[in-house]
Amino acid sequence: SQTIHQWPATLVQPVGSPLSLECTVEGTSNPNLYWYRQAAGRGLQLLFYSVGIGQISSEVPQNLSASRPQDRQFILSSKKLLLSDSGFYLCAWSVAGASTDTQYFGPGTRLTVL
């Protein structure tokens, strides 16, 4: 069966500090991978998605970036955090080529920028 991991679970960072959130998927190959941010009252906002190693699409302009160094690893980064980067960050995966694009989510990372 497939499993998706995210770490850390919670993170408190000062403004201007760097960020690295990691997501890994087990039990599947060549998944589509996604990063979302969920802020209170604003729903899920798609940040990045990837269909393969080194292939990243960005949905919104921001000071965040994403990388996919390995097939089942997806990393969300920032060089300098802003207060507005606080939120609940979710990684998700889906089966490549599936028409439904049903996505499966990880447990999330709660980021607080102070």
Partner 1 sequence: QKEVEQDPGPLSVPEGAIVSLNCTYSNSAFQYFMWYRQYSRKGPELLMYTYSSGNKEDGRFTAQVDKSSKYISLFIRDSQPSDSATYLCATNYGGSQGNLIFGKGTKLSVKP
Q: Which parts of this chain interact with partner 1 (CB under 8 A)?
A: 6, 32, 41-44, 46, 49, 51, 88, 90, 92, 96-108, 110
- Shortest distance, position 91 Cβ to partner 1, whole Å: 8
- Shortest distance, position 29 Cβ to partner 1, whole Å: 14
DSSP 42-66: TEEEEEEEEEETTEEEESS-SSEEE
Q: Which is nearer to partner 1, 49 or 74 (CB)?
A: 49
Q: Which is nearer to partner 1, 17 or 102 (CB)?
A: 102
Look up residue 80 and give its two tokens: 């300098």
- Shortest distance, position 102 Cβ to partner 1, whole Å: 6
35, HSE (Cβ side, Cα atoms, 13 Å): 27
Output the CA torsion sign for 8, 21, 69, 98.
positive
Q: Which is nearer to partner 1, 14 or 43 (CB)?
A: 43
